Chain A
Amino acid sequence: MTAPATESSAVFATRGLTKTYTMGEVEIHALRGVDMALYAGELTVMLGASGSGKSTLLNILGGLDSATSGEVRYGGQDLVRASDRVLTQFRREHVGFVFQFYNLISSLTARENVAIVTEIARDPMTPEEALEMVGLEARMDHFPAQLSGGEQQRVAIARAVAKRPTVLLCDEPTGALDSKTGIRVLEVIERINRELGTTTAVITHNMVIGEMADRIITLRDGRVDDVQVNEHRRAPSELHW
């Protein structure tokens, strides 16, 4: 395992992270001891088949879920033992999420979907700025039902970055999109990472996307299987699948 930077520049570092939960009557061991790190400013792609535990890992990093055991350090803070209030504050100030199914609030327009986050953030951009960054300035007052999938995902990205988060966590952001629209969305994510320097993690089962990353972490059966450093990042527009 090689790391391009020292431990000290790690935004996140996990050690021995496990997660077990029950769904219906089935007990699922989602994570079985994960050790990994995310470094400041880098764009990481986490690859893995479905069920490999990548979404669970992302949720725990983002403070959405709690680990069963192990350690997650964010800066100097241990998130595993953090209280609910601390986690809420952490999400409010530091994390931007993008989900596979966009998860926009259907009763709010694009602008309002972004505003719902900027209204509680400490130093946000305006919803208009954020929507401009994703190229949606013309469709700000449309409701989610009036937007295409790609547009909805771009609203979701605008919503995630509007608070100027330290980390941007994207869970299968292109999973529900065709490849052309998916690439458009990845361009936006790449631009955010480049221009704002936001530490970004994208999870996907699509290996091609790894080519735009600084590092590729592969997960299998709830463990880190492989970490690769990508010396030659490719622009999303050069990718195709």
Chain B
Amino acid sequence: MIPAIHRKLLRDLAELKGQVAAISVVIGAGVMVLILAVTSLDAVQLSKQRFYEGYHFADVFADLTRAPEHVRERIAVVPGVDQVETRVRAPVRVEVAGFADPVRGQLLSIPDGRQPRLNRLHLREGTLPESGRGDQVVISEPFAEAHGLRAGDRLRVIIRGRLETLTITGIGLSPEFVYQVGPADLLPDYERYVVMWMNRRALANAFGMDGAFNNVVLTLQAGADRASVIDAVDEVLARYGSTGPVGREDQVSHRFLSDELDQLRVMAVVLPTIFLGVAAFLLNVLMARIVRTQRQQVAILKAFGYGHDDIALHFGLLTGAVVLVGCVLGVGFGAWAAEGLAGIYAEYFRFPEMSFRLQPRVLALAAVVAVVAAALGTWRAVAGAVRLPPAQAMRPPAPERFTQGWLERSRFGRLLDQAGRIILRNLSRHRLKAVLSMIGIALSGALLLLGSYQFTAVDHLIDIQYRQVMKMDLHLPLTDPTSEHALAGLRHKPGVQYVEGYRSVPVRLVNGLRDYRTSLQGLEAEPVLRVLVDAKLRPQRLPPDGILLTGYLADHLGVRPGDTVDVEIMEGHRRTLQVQVAGTVDEPIGLGAYMERRTLNRLMREGPAINGVWLMVDRSLEAELFDALWEVPRIAAIGLIADVEGNFRQYYYDTVLVFMGVLLLMAGTITFAVVYNNARIAFAERARELATLRVLGFTRGEVAWVLIGELGLLVLLAIPLGWLVGTGFALLLNEAMTVDMYRVPFVITPGAYAFSALGVLIAAALSVLMIARRLHRLDMISALKTVE
């Protein structure tokens, strides 16, 4: 048997179903985003932790030219070092039967026939290469999937210019390559990049590393100071051509993973806050309205002995019901969306297993956050109902005080008709409510702006990077520095239209306590295929002396044009030079340092050398060109820039944009909820007044204008406010989402503003349409009989 007071609750809910549904959807949106973000965060973090611990992910990584194996002992005795694993690492080119594009890869050694101590492999299928065999490899899973390769299949691999046919014994994953990108790439290209593992002896043999290693990884003892270990290891390895050991934070896969986790964290806080804030506001408006219309009912309940707690509980349950519906919606959609996102994550982050399970903890968190937001929104109204003295509540509320505002007395005011005056006085009488409603509508406009900003900004980023900066079609890294005369040979290959060489040197840039590892690129003074642009996208000329830094990097290092920066050269003969910062360039992707190539050659004490080439080609002749390029032994790999661009867009459309699309949809819902709620409440509160106007001879249209005009005015005022707030949101999100790898440019197009305004207007028009139906049915007599 349901107590009568709860039955009243149920019937009130049924009566308010439109508004309850609208607010529930907004709460649901907040809960959904929260669940989505926290579940993803949990899943990625947990999978990462399990993989790292279970497979002994190393703490420090170093590349070098070549060191005899006995150097290993000297690393092992460095205080703080726990385990050391020396390896041979070889860049290779791979041919897959039936796949024309060039494939790059790296071969990593593992101890003969067994798992390495560090960065152990997780075998999806098959086995490790047999001990003593030199023609067997384990290949990375995403590459195997992309080409449909299975254990037992064969690959043709070119190691140091020598073609070998290798048999795949197993398919595996490594904690080192959770995010599997080629060197200098930003995004995985599973078709064109592969990681393979091979027995140490065989690889050393093929790569000329017998009794030596060119890569070492190590773990730290508990409590060891990583920086001092890195320094000590660097000292040991410096003379073997080390490019300097790095910690996990500079390990590519780990760094991408950390960036992703950071972004998820931002998302988990920012978006739910916005949604639940709006929901709290809507609840506040709705509950205040309910309490207002039910003041006599509250009084009756009190007259018959219902206490404060009973009244508070009654309205609390009303809110609770809204929150409950919102939570159910949010959890349902959140779980569904998390599953979708899991698919995307599984594509980009390769863990042995990633379980997107909805944890009770996350559910509880979402529920608590939603309840707190709702409580904040409802508290005032309910407290008002509780405090209402019963006798006062029995009396009709005193007529509201209206005054003539300055606007009405102005020249403009004299032009107003009666309806206009009613609108203006209503707004100025309920200033707080009008302002809050405006803020509510503005918030949804702001969200729409935020959503479309992401769309346009990322497009803009990709456009800048691949239309203005990277104009080349092909990128050919060379195995070793080579004389620039090699360029002449490339000019005559089939389809080649333009050739430009560069010299790239790994460096550590230091200013005081701040430092950053990157590569210093030596370019032509006026590069054609790799353009340096300033903030206004104008091409910049490289000065004969000095270094140009990406603006973000200059800020990171705390240097300005004219300052000097220490350039620690991490290749060959290690030295530190002081170079003047000649200026900054504005690039959305990567953190680079640039110099005129011959100046860099001089600093390196070498002739006019290059170690990479960019080509502009006739893409119809690509197949012939690739064949010709394969013949050149010094070409380490062939990178197709157009593919990179495609990958990048794909990545964004897959993840961020899908997410933002959902956001956009939800922002539309908010707009609708805010406007509809306002219209509905305004209508309910004014039905009597509007009926009176009808009785006095106003037409339906005139009466509608009194109601809709007020709403329209609020919406029109809210749109620019939404632009302002949305711009602020976009700026905040932009700051929060900025990572070293790329910086989304802060560009909001007029189209984004128009989109935000349009969204608000459409949602407003829909709400007004729904209210207009009620207006049409307005019954003059019964509305007048309603006792307030």
Contacts and interface: CB of A to CB of B under 8 A. Distances in A.
Contacts of A66: 389
B298 to A, nearest CB: 10
Interface string B302-317: 1111111010000000
B239 interface: no
A105 B394 CA distance: 13
B79 to A, nearest CB: 72
Contacts of A60: 391
B686 interface: no
A116 B389 contact: no
Nearest to A56: B391
Given A91-B304, A93-B305, A116-B301, A65 B401 contact: no
A116 B297 CA distance: 12
Interface in A33-88: 56, 59-60, 62, 64-66, 84-85, 88
B360 interface: no
Interface in B275-331: 296-297, 299-308, 310
B700 to A, nearest CB: 25
19 contacts: A24-B398, A24-B399, A60-B391, A64-B302, A65-B391, A89-B305, A91-B302, A91-B305, A92-B305, A92-B307, A99-B300, A103-B394, A107-B7, A108-B8, A108-B11, A115-B4, A120-B306, A121-B305, A159-B304
Contact of A117 (B304, B392, B787): B304
Contacts of A195: none
Contact of A88 (B7, B297, B306): B306
Nearest to B7: A112
A97 B303 contact: yes
Contact of A107 (B15, B300, B305, B389): B15
A102 to B, nearest CB: 10
A105 B307 contact: no
Given A64-B391, A66-B389, 7 more contacts: A24-B401, A60-B391, A91-B305, A99-B300, A107-B15, A112-B7, A120-B304
B394 A99 contact: yes
B684 interface: no
A141 interface: no
B398 A23 contact: yes
A121 to B, nearest CB: 7
A113 interface: yes
Contacts of B302: 64, 88, 91
Contacts of A21: 392
B304 A119 contact: no
A107 B12 contact: yes
B8 A107 contact: yes
B5 interface: yes
Contacts of A120: 304-306, 310
Nearest to B782: A145
A52 to B, nearest CB: 16
Main secondary structure of the interface of B (DSSP, over half): helix
Contacts, number: 95
A97 B8 CA distance: 20
Contacts of B583: none
B304 A113 contact: no
B398 A103 contact: no
A88 B307 CA distance: 6
Contacts of A105: 8, 297, 300
Interface in B419-474: none
Contacts of B394: 59, 64, 99, 103
A116 B305 contact: no
Contacts of A56: 391
B3 interface: yes
A62 B401 contact: no
A59 B306 contact: no
Given A88-B306, A97-B303, A64 B12 contact: no
Interface string A97-134: 10101010101100011011101110000000000000
A218 to B, nearest CB: 22
Nearest to A21: B392
A152 B8 CA distance: 17
Main secondary structure of the interface of A (DSSP, over half): mixed
Contacts of A27: none
A164 to B, nearest CB: 13
Given A59-B394, A99-B394, A116 B399 contact: no
Contacts of A84: 308
B156 interface: no
B357 interface: no
Q: Which 9 pairs from chain A and chain B are nearest by CB? A: A92-B305, A65-B391, A107-B11, A24-B398, A116-B4, A59-B391, A64-B391, A115-B4, A112-B4
A65 B4 contact: no
A238 interface: no
A231 interface: no
Contacts of B391: 56, 59-60, 64-65
Interface string B1-18: 001110110011001000
Given A65-B391, A116-B301, A101 B5 contact: no
Nearest to A26: B398
A214 B632 CA distance: 122
Contacts of A115: 3-4
B303 A119 contact: no
Nearest to B390: A64
A157 to B, nearest CB: 13
B304 A92 contact: yes
Contacts of A89: 305, 307
Interface string B382-398: 00000001111011001
B6 to A, nearest CB: 10
B5 A116 contact: yes
B2 to A, nearest CB: 9
Given A24-B399, A65-B389, A65-B390, A88 B305 contact: yes
A64 B389 CA distance: 7
Residue among A56, A91, A96, A107 with the most chain B CB within 10 A? A107
A97 B7 CA distance: 22
A119 B3 contact: yes
Contacts of B3: 115-116, 119
Contacts of B392: 21, 65
A116 B302 CA distance: 11
A108 B4 contact: yes
Residue among A21, A90, A92 with the most chain B CB within 10 A? A92
Contacts of B395: 23
B288 to A, nearest CB: 19
B8 A116 contact: yes
B429 to A, nearest CB: 13
Nearest to A105: B297
A148 to B, nearest CB: 14
Contacts of B390: 59, 64-65
B780 to A, nearest CB: 17
Contacts of A90: 305
A85 B389 CA distance: 13
Contacts of A99: 300, 394
Residue among B12, B15, B302 with the most chain A CB within 10 A? B302
A51 to B, nearest CB: 13
Interface string A174-212: 000000000000000000000000000000000000000
A108 B304 contact: no
A163 B395 CA distance: 25
B16 to A, nearest CB: 11
Nearest to B391: A65
Contacts of B11: 107-108
Nearest to A89: B305
Nearest to A84: B308
Contacts of A116: 3-5, 8, 301, 304
Interface in B153-201: none
Contacts of B297: 103, 105
B523 to A, nearest CB: 77
A237 B389 CA distance: 37
A119 B4 CA distance: 8
A46 to B, nearest CB: 16
